Structure 1
Amino acid sequence: MPRRDDFLVGAGVRGIAGDPLRVPVLRRYSPLFAVFLLSGLLTRAGFAGAARPDEADPVQPEPTAAPIPHSVATLLATDIPADAPQSRSWPALINARLQALVPIQRHTAAATERSLRLRVEAALSGVDGRVAVEIRDLERGEVLLARDADRALNPASNQKLITAIAAVELLGADYRFETKVLREGDALILRGEGDPDLHVRDLHRLAARVASEIELGGIRRLIIDDSVFDGRTLGPGFRSDGPGESYIAPSGALALDYGTVEITTSPGAYLRPAQIHLEPSGAAIELIADTRTEAGSLEVTTRPGADGRTIVEVVGAIPGGHAPISVRRRVADPGLVAGHNFAELLAAHSGGEPLPVARGRASADAALIATHQSATLITVSSSALRYSNNFTAEQILRTLAWRATGEPGTWAAGVELLDRFAARVSPTRADAQRFVNGSGLSHDGRLSPSFLVDVLSLAQRPGSPANALLASFAKAGGEGTLHGRTPHAGARVLAKTGTYAGASSLSGIVRASSDGRNLGFSVLVNGGELDRSRAAQDQVVAALLRL
Structure 2
Amino acid sequence: MNDRTEVVPPTAFTPNGRHRHRKPKQLGTGARRALVLAMAVPVASAALAGPSAFAANGNTTATTPDTAPDANEGLDPTDQAIAANLDIRVNDERLGSNVSGVVLDAESDGTVWDHNADTALMPASNTKLATATAALTVLGPNHQFKTKVVYGDGTLTLVGGGDRTLTSADLGEMAKDAVAGLKAAGLTSVKVAVDDSLFPEPTLARGWNDGYYPDSVAPVRALVVDGHAVSDTSIDAGQVFAKQLAADGITVDGEVTRRTAAITDVPVACHKSAKLSDIVRHLIKVSDNNIAETLLRMTALRAGQPATFEGGTAVVRDVLSQRYGVSLENFEMYDGSGLSRDTRISARTLAEILDLLTEKRYEHLLGSIREGLPVAGVAGGTLGPEWGRFDDENSKCAVGKVYGKTGTLTGAIALSGLTQGKDGQWKVFSFVENGSTAKNSAIRDAMDGLAATVNGCWA
Q: Distance between the aligned counterparts of 1:406 and 1:122, measured in 2?
A: 46
TM-score normalised per structure 1: 0.66
Does residue 1:405 correspond to 2:405, yes or no? no
Question: Map of 1:163-242 to 2, 5 A cutoff?
Answer: 163-215=131-183, 217=187, 220-241=190-211
The structure with the largest strand share of the pair is: 1
Secondary structure of residue in 2 paired with 1:140:
coil
**Aligned residue in 1 for 2:17:** none
Q: Is the 8 A contact 2:124 2:413 kept in 1?
A: yes
Q: Figure out how many residues of one structure are paired with residues of the other and give that number.
A: 389
SS at structure 2 position matched to 1:111: coil
Q: Distance in 1 between matches of 2:36 and 2:325?
A: 28
Q: In structure 2, what residue type is equivalent to 1:526?
A: N
Matched, 1:255 2:224: yes
Query: Which of 421, 424, 449 in structure 2 is aligned with 1:512?
Result: 421
In the TM superposition, what is the alpha-carbon distance from 1:388 to its structure 2 partner? 1.8
Query: What is the one-letter code of the residue matched to 2:371?
Result: A
Of residues 467, 470, 474, the one that matches 2:374 is 474
With over 3 angstroms needed to count, the CA separation of the structure-2 counterparts of 1:428 and 1:240, relative to structure 1, is closer
Cα offset for 1:175? 1.4
- Mark the CA change 1:187 to 1:352 in structure 2 (over 3 Å): closer, same or farther: closer
After TM superposition, the structure 1 = structure 2 runs for residues 88-103 of structure 1, keeping only pairs within 5 Å, are none
Alpha-carbon contact 2:127-2:336 (below 8 Å) kept:
yes
Paired residues for 1:350-369 under 5 Å: 350-353=249-252, 356-369=255-268
Unpaired segments of 5 or more residues in structure 2? 1-27, 49-70, 391-395
Residue in structure 1 matched with residue 12 of structure 2 by the alignment = none
Shift of 1:156: 0.7
Is the Cα–Cα contact under 8 Å of residues 347 and 431 in structure 2 kept in the other structure?
Answer: yes
Distance in 2 (CA, whole Å) between partners of 1:178 and 1:536 is 43
Do 1:249 and 1:258's aligned partners in 2 also have CA atoms closer than 8 Å?
Answer: no
Match of 1:373 among 272, 297, 318: 272
Superposition deviation, residue 333 in structure 1: 0.7
2:313 counterpart letter in structure 1: V
Whole-Å separation in 2 of the counterparts to 1:169 and 1:352: 44
- Taking the aligned partners of 2:317 and 2:237, their CA distance within structure 1 comes to 33
- Show CA shifts across 1:298-323 (max 9, x none): xxxxxxxxxxxxxxxxxxxxxxxxxx
Does residue 381 of structure 2 align to residue 387 of structure 1? no
Aligned to 1:50: 44
1:98-109 to 2 correspondences below 5 Å: none
How big is the shift at 1:453? 1.2
Give 1:418's match in structure 2, choosing from 316, 327, 339.
Answer: 316
CA distance in 2, matches of 1:406, 1:349: 41
2:109 aligned to which of 127, 141, 144: 141
1:159 and 2:144 correspond: no
Residue from 81, 96, 102 that aligns with 1:115: 81
Q: Partners of 1:532 and 1:165 in 2: how far apart?
A: 30
The CA distance in 1 between the partners of 2:409 and 2:219, in whole Å, is: 19
1:390 to 1:210, Cα distance in 2 relative to 1, 3 A: same
For 2:347 and 2:38, locate their aligned partners in 1 and report how far apart those are by CA, in whole Å: 26
Q: Judging changes above 3 Å, is the alpha-carbon distance between structure 1 residues 129 and 358 closer, same or farther for their aligned structure 2 residues? A: same
Alpha-carbon distance, 1:467 to partner:
2.3
In structure 2, distance between residues paired with 1:428 and 1:353: 53
2:338 counterpart letter in structure 1:
G
Select 1:460's aligned residue among 355, 358, 370: 358
Q: Is the 8 A contact 2:417 2:429 kept in 1?
A: yes
Structure 1's unaligned 5+ residue stretches are 1-26, 55-106, 261-330
Equivalent AA in structure 2 for residue 52 of structure 1 = A
Q: How far did 1:363 drift? A: 2.2
Q: In the TM superposition, what is the alpha-carbon distance from 1:532 to its structure 2 partner?
A: 4.1
* Residue 100 of structure 1: aligned partner: none
- 1:543 corresponds in structure 2 to 453
Which of residues 397, 407, 431 in structure 2 aligns to 1:498? 407
* C-alpha distance in 2 between matches for 1:508 and 1:239: 29
Cα distance in 2, alignment partners of residues 52 and 121 from structure 1 = 38
Sequence identity percentage: 28
- What RMSD in Å do the two structures reach over aligned CA positions? 2.6
Work out whether residues 258 and 392 of structure 1, in 8 Å CA contact, stay in contact via their aligned partners in 2.
no
Distance in 1 separating the partners of 2:180 and 2:98: 61
Contact kept, 8 Å, 2:280 with 2:368, in 1: the verdict is: no
1:493 Cα offset (Å): 1.7
Q: Evaluate the alpha carbon distance shift between residue 543 and residue 354 of structure 1 in structure 2; reply closer, same or farther with a 3 A threshold.
A: farther
> Displacement, 1:35?
4.7
Residue 492 and residue 30 in structure 1: after superposition, are their counterparts in 2 closer, same or farther (change >3 A)?
A: farther
